[in-house]
Chain A
Amino acid sequence: MYAFDPGALHLAREFRARPIGRRSPELERLLTLMRGEPMAGKYCVICTRPHEQWVLARLSGIRGVPPTLMENHVYHSIEEAEWEVFKLRWQRLGGGDLDAALAADEQENAR
C-alpha cells in the first residue's frame, strides 16, 4: 500500500503552488489518500458568502448530523482553504507541522 512520507516536502510545495489542477503522479497519490479520509471528521468547507467567503468544517459521518463549523478558520478563496486543509491533513497523517517543516527545509537549503 502507498504510505505517507512526511519527508516528501516537494509534494507540499507542488500543491501549494497549484492547489487545483494538474498534479504529478506522486502528488496525486498523496491527494487520493488525503481526500479519501474517513467521513467522520472529514474536512470540508461551507460557503458562507458565495464566491467570497468559506468556513472550515468537519463532517459528522452520521446521517442527519450536520458538519461542525470551525468559525475561526475563514477563507477568502478556495485555494487558501485547500492549502490549510492540506496542512491539517499532513498533520493528521503524522507529518507534524508542515509550515515548520517547510521553513526548516528552506533554511537548510539556504545554507
Chain B
Amino acid sequence: MKTIVGYSDEISVEPGQAISFMISSEKGLPFEARVVRLIHGDTNPAGPGYREEAVPGAADGTYPGTRRPIHAGSCALIPAGATPWNLDSFTFQAMIWPTRPDGGRQVIASLRDGAAGFELAIDEAGHLVGRIERAGMEALVLTGERPLLARRWYLVALSFDGTSGEARLLQHPRKTEALIRDDAAAEGAGTPGGLGLGGGTLVLAARAAQARPHEAHYNGKIDSPRLYARAMELVDFPPTAQLGLHTPGLAGAWDFSQDIGGISFADRSAFERGGSLHQLPTRALTGYDWREETRCFRDAPEQYGAVHFHDDDIYDAGWPADVTWTVPEGQASGLYALHVTTAEDEDYIPFVIRPGAASPRAKVLFLVPTASYLAYGNEHLAVDAALAERAHDILTVFNANDVFLMEHREYGGSLYDTHSDGSGICYSSRLRPLLNMRPKYQSWLGGSGSALWQLNADTHLLDWMEHEGIAYDCITDEDLDRDGVAALAPYPCVMTGTHPEYYSTRMWDALEAYKARGGSFMAMGGNAFHARIAYHPSLPGVMEVRRAEIGNGWMCAPGEGFHAFTGEYGGLWRRIGRMPQTMAGTGFAGQGFDISSYFRRNPDSYAPRASFIFEGVEDEIIGDFGLIGGGAAGIELDRADYAMGTPPHALILATSENHTSIYMLSTCEMYINIPGLDATQCPQVHADLVFYETPAGGGVFSTGSIAWAGSLSHRDYDNNIARITGNVLRRFALGGRFPVAATAPAATIGD
C-alpha cells in the first residue's frame, strides 16, 4: 500500500542551486529523507540488482509527515476588480458544450458576496438550474424542464430583475433535431428586491468552497461568457447568437480567444475585469462558431473562444515544501533522487543534477528524456482501456503505485489518457507526484522480464556506464529546450535514453545543430523523435501534446491540432515534415509488449567503416538475451528507410527478426487496412541497427530498439550488446572525428 508520495519543484538543478520536495505522508507518519544517486533501478534478481549510492548531506533527517490532498479540477476566476459588481438585477449568459451533463452537479458560473449571489449549474439530473440568493430572503430556484445533451452547443442564460423579483432561465440549443427536444426555459417570481451584490469573485466552471478551493467542477466547453447588470427579457435573446457587446448594462464580456497560450483572459467590457484560469483547462479549442475550413486558432482566433474545463485538470498540486536541499558545489552530475521512507513505505523523487557553468565536463552527455517521462506520467491505459492486455499479451501486473493512482484520479493522468469526460489529456505537469517515474517501478509497458519503462529502463544505461567506468554528465529535456545547442556543445558524445519519443522544436533543432557542429550521437531507444511537444513559455514544468491526424490513446478533434502553448502544429514529426530517420537513421516501425527478439548482422556490419563497432564480436546473432523481454530487439522498434531520410551512406548493420505476432505495424505506417500487418507477416516490423558519419565528422549510431539497454548487463556485462555499445561510445567520445571526404557518386544514366 502506497502511503508516502512526493514531487519536487525542479527536475534539474546545478551545484549551488536549491531544490525543494513536497511530500504527502498519507497516514501522517514522520518520514526520513536522504539524497541518493540512482545507478540501477532494476530489482530483477536475474540482473545485477538494485543499486544506489547515498549522498550524505544537509537534507538528511527526520521530518514531520502531513497528508496533503490534491484538488484537481479547473475553473476561471474573475474578481470584480477596481469597480464593484453593483448587481441588483443581472443577466449571465454563455455558450456551453457540456461533456458530462449526467455527471452530477456541475457549476457553469457562480458569484457570491456574503448572503447574496447566483449560480447557474447543471443539476444531478442533467437539467440546467439557476439559483438566486438574497440576504434575508428565500432562494429563488429555476430548473429547465429538459436535460442538456452531451457535446452539443447551447446558449444558456439566467436573468433576475430586482425591481419585480422575476427571474428567467434559458437553455437554447444551437441545432435542432427531429424527434427530440433539448431546449428549456423557466420563469419564477420572488419578492421584489435587488440582489445587492457588490464584491466577490465570479467563478466559471466551479464554485468557491470551504474545505477545498473550489467544488462542483464543470466538464465541457464554455465560450463567450457575459454578465449584464440588468435583467433581459427572454425575447431579447437572439435564437442562435449572443447579445452584442454594445447592449446596455454590460458588466463583463470575457474573451478566451486572445492570449491562448496563457492563463489569463481579457474582459472586453468597459470595466476591464480580466480573469485567470486555474489548473490549466484546455485552450485553443474550437468554439461554438468554428467553421471547419479553419484549422488553426492563429488564423481565426475569434472561432477559438472556448475553454474546455475538466473536473480532473491538474497543473500544480501546490503543496508546501517539506525538504529543501542545496546542491553542494562539486556534486557530480547525474540522476539523483530524494529517498523518503516511513515505517511502512518509501518513495523516490527523481531529479537530475546538471553540470554547473564551472563544472568540469565528462566526454559523454546522457540526455535524460524527461519530456517522454512526463508524457507517460501517471499513465492509466491498463486501467481505463482493454487495449493494454491485448497489446501486451501478458496478464496485466499492477503494483502499489498503480493501485494508489487508481484510487487517486485527482493526481491526473498521462498524455495517453483521457479526462473523466473522455476528452484527451493534452497537458502533463511534473508539479504533482508521478508515481511511474520511479526507480524500482515496474510497468506493463516494459514487457516480460524486468518490465521497466522510461526512467527505470534508462538506469540500465547509467548502470552500464558506471560499470564500465565511463564518466557521464546528465541534463534533462527541459534543459535542452531552454539552453539549446549550448547544452550539448561541450560534449563529443551525446546519448539518449531508451524511449526518447517526445521532442519540442527547440530540442530537435538543438540536436541537429549539435550534429552539424560535429557532435556524435547515440540514439539508444525505439520510437524515438516521434511526436512533437511544446513546453509552456512561462509556466514551469508543464508540456503540451496535440495528437493531430494520428491518434495514440486519443486523437485531437478537427481544428484543434495546434499547440496552445506555442501555436505550432502538433502530432507526429513525420507528418509535420521532419522524418525521425533524418535524426538518427531510424524511425518508428512497430511495437509489441510481450517478448523481445534479437538482431542478425547484415553485410554492412563487415564494411571497413563499421569494423570499430564489431571489434571483438564474432557472432552473427546479436542480443538474444536480456532483461527486457529476453532480447535486445523489443518493445518498440525503429527501422531504417533510405526513402524516408536515412542518409544514403548509412550502414544498416543488423536487423531484428522473429518477433511475435503481437508486434504490429505502427499506425503511422498504415495507409490501407489489410490483413497481415503483424511482425510474423509484415517485413517492415523490425528494428535496424544503424551507423553513419555526419558531414561535420561526427558519428550517429541508433539501436532502433527500446529493449537494447536491457541486454547490457547480461553475463556480467560481457556480451555482444555491451561490446558493440562500448565500442561505439569510446570511439565517439574519445576517437576524434570521422573521415568524411566525399567520393564521386557512381555513374548515372547518360554517362
Give a binary string over B392-425; 1 marks a CB under 8 Å from any A CB, 0 the rest: 1111111110010011110000000000100000
Give a binary string over B618-652; 1 marks a CB under 8 Å from any A CB, 0 the rest: 00000000000000000000000000000000000
List A residues 13-36 near B (Cβ within 8 Å): 20-23, 25, 28, 31-32, 35-36
Residues of A within 8 A of B396 (CB): 44-45
> Does chain A have a CB within 8 A of B343?
no
* Shortest Cβ gap from A12 to chain B (Å): 16
List B residues 434-465 near A (Cβ within 8 Å): 440, 442, 448
Judge whether A28 and B397 touch: CB under 8 Å.
Answer: no
Judge whether B660 and A44 touch: CB under 8 Å.
Answer: no
**Bound complex: CA A82 to CA B394 (Å):** 8
Which of B8-16, B383-391, B740-748 is near enough to bind chain A? B383-391
Q: Name the residue of chain B whose CB is nearest to the CB of A21.
A: B595
Judge whether A81 and B395 touch: CB under 8 Å.
Answer: yes
Residues of B within 8 A of A35 (CB): 386, 389-390, 392-393
* Shortest Cβ gap from B238 to chain A (Å): 39
**Bound complex: CA A65 to CA B409 (Å):** 9
> Does chain A have a CB within 8 A of B45?
yes
Judge whether A78 and B395 touch: CB under 8 Å.
Answer: yes
Judge whether A28 and B406 touch: CB under 8 Å.
Answer: no
Selected contact of B406 from candidates A45, A66, A85, CB within 8 Å: A66
Give a binary string over B534-545; 1 marks a CB under 8 Å from any A CB, 0 the rest: 000000000000
> Does chain A have a CB within 8 A of B43?
yes
Give a binary string over B352-395; 1 marks a CB under 8 Å from any A CB, 0 the rest: 00000000000000000000000000000011111001101111
**Bound complex: CA A86 to CA B448 (Å):** 18
Residues of B within 8 A of A47 (CB): 397-399, 442
**Bound complex: CA A25 to CA B383 (Å):** 27
**Bound complex: CA A6 to CA B595 (Å):** 28
Residues of A within 8 A of B566 (CB): none
Selected contact of A66 from candidates B384, B390, B393, B407, CB within 8 Å: B407
The interface on chain A, measured as residues whose beta carbon lies within 8 A of the other chain's beta carbons, has a size of 33
Judge whether B383 and A59 touch: CB under 8 Å.
Answer: yes
> Does chain B have a CB within 8 A of A50?
yes
> Does chain B have a CB within 8 A of A111?
no
Residues of B within 8 A of A46 (CB): 397-400, 403
> Does chain A have a CB within 8 A of B594?
yes
> Does chain A have a CB within 8 A of B44?
yes
Selected contact of A20 from candidates B385, B399, B594, CB within 8 Å: B594
Do A44 and B661 form a contact, CB below 8 Å, given A20-B393, A36-B389? no
Give a binary string over A83-105; 1 marks a CB under 8 Å from any B CB, 0 the rest: 00100000000000000000000
Do A63 and B395 form a contact, CB below 8 Å, given A25-B661, A51-B44? no
Q: Name the residue of chain A whose CB is nearest to the CB of B46.
A: A51
Residues of A within 8 A of B382 (CB): 44
**Bound complex: CA A82 to CA B383 (Å):** 18
* Shortest Cβ gap from A10 to chain B (Å): 18
**Bound complex: CA A78 to CA B392 (Å):** 13
* Shortest Cβ gap from B456 to chain A (Å): 12
Give a binary string over A53-86; 1 marks a CB under 8 Å from any B CB, 0 the rest: 0100101000111110000000000100110010
Judge whether A38 and B442 touch: CB under 8 Å.
Answer: no
**Bound complex: CA A38 to CA B595 (Å):** 25
Selected contact of A78 from candidates B43, B45, B394, B660, CB within 8 Å: B394
Selected contact of A50 from candidates B383, B384, B440, CB within 8 Å: B440
* Shortest Cβ gap from A16 to chain B (Å): 14
Judge whether A44 and B395 touch: CB under 8 Å.
Answer: yes
**Bound complex: CA A111 to CA B420 (Å):** 58
Judge whether B661 and A42 touch: CB under 8 Å.
Answer: no
Residues of B within 8 A of A78 (CB): 394-395, 397, 448
Q: Name the residue of chain A whose CB is nearest to the CB of B660.
A: A22
Do A20 and B386 form a contact, CB below 8 Å, given A44-B397, A50-B442? no
**Bound complex: CA A24 to CA B211 (Å):** 57
Residues of B within 8 A of A44 (CB): 382, 389, 395-398
Q: Name the residue of chain B whose CB is nearest to the CB of A36.
A: B386
Do A63 and B409 form a contact, CB below 8 Å, given A51-B45, A78-B395? yes
* Shortest Cβ gap from B412 to chain A (Å): 12
> Does chain B have a CB within 8 A of A37?
yes
* Shortest Cβ gap from B418 to chain A (Å): 10
* Shortest Cβ gap from B423 to chain A (Å): 14
Residues of A within 8 A of B393 (CB): 20, 23, 31, 35
Judge whether A57 and B406 touch: CB under 8 Å.
Answer: no
* Shortest Cβ gap from B8 to chain A (Å): 24
Judge whether B395 and A43 touch: CB under 8 Å.
Answer: yes
Q: Name the residue of chain A whose CB is nearest to the CB of B418.
A: A63
Judge whether B386 and A42 touch: CB under 8 Å.
Answer: yes
Judge whether A67 and B384 touch: CB under 8 Å.
Answer: no
**Bound complex: CA A13 to CA B492 (Å):** 55
**Bound complex: CA A51 to CA B397 (Å):** 11
**Bound complex: CA A36 to CA B392 (Å):** 11
Judge whether B409 and A45 touch: CB under 8 Å.
Answer: no
* Shortest Cβ gap from A111 to chain B (Å): 35
Selected contact of A45 from candidates B383, B386, B397, CB within 8 Å: B397
Judge whether B397 and A54 touch: CB under 8 Å.
Answer: yes
Residues of B within 8 A of A63 (CB): 384, 409, 420
**Bound complex: CA A32 to CA B594 (Å):** 13
> Does chain B have a CB within 8 A of A8?
no
Residues of A within 8 A of B398 (CB): 44-47, 57, 67
* Shortest Cβ gap from A28 to chain B (Å): 6
> Does chain B have a CB within 8 A of A39?
yes
Do A39 and B384 form a contact, CB below 8 Å, given A20-B594, A46-B399, A82-B395? yes
| Highest count of chain A CB atoms <10 Å: which of B383, B440, B442 | B383
* Shortest Cβ gap from B635 to chain A (Å): 14
**Bound complex: CA A59 to CA B406 (Å):** 10
* Shortest Cβ gap from A98 to chain B (Å): 16
Q: Name the residue of chain A whose CB is nearest to the CB of B402.
A: A46
Do A67 and B406 form a contact, CB below 8 Å, given A21-B594, A47-B442, A50-B442? yes
Judge whether B386 and A50 touch: CB under 8 Å.
Answer: no
* Shortest Cβ gap from A83 to chain B (Å): 10
Q: Name the residue of chain B whose CB is nearest to the CB of A33.
A: B390
Residues of A within 8 A of B594 (CB): 20-21
**Bound complex: CA A39 to CA B389 (Å):** 11
Residues of A within 8 A of B442 (CB): 47, 50
List B residues 180-210 near A (Cβ within 8 Å): none
Q: Name the residue of chain B whose CB is nearest to the CB of A42.
A: B386
Q: Name the residue of chain B whose CB is nearest to the CB of A82.
A: B395
**Bound complex: CA A82 to CA B397 (Å):** 11
Do A85 and B395 form a contact, CB below 8 Å, given A50-B43, A64-B409, A78-B448? yes
* Shortest Cβ gap from A108 to chain B (Å): 30
**Bound complex: CA A81 to CA B457 (Å):** 25
Selected contact of A39 from candidates B386, B397, B595, CB within 8 Å: B386
Q: Name the residue of chain B whose CB is nearest to the CB of A54.
A: B397
Residues of A within 8 A of B394 (CB): 20, 78, 82
List B residues 79-113 near A (Cβ within 8 Å): none
Selected contact of A67 from candidates B390, B395, B403, B420, CB within 8 Å: B403
12 pairs of residues in contact across A and B, judged by CB atoms under 8 Å? A20-B393, A28-B661, A44-B382, A44-B397, A45-B397, A51-B45, A54-B397, A59-B383, A63-B409, A66-B403, A78-B397, A81-B395
Closest 6 CB pairs of A and B: A35-B389, A44-B396, A66-B407, A47-B399, A36-B386, A66-B406
Q: Besides A20-B594, A65-B407, 9 other CB < 8 A contacts?
A: A20-B448, A22-B595, A22-B661, A23-B660, A25-B661, A28-B661, A44-B382, A46-B398, A50-B440
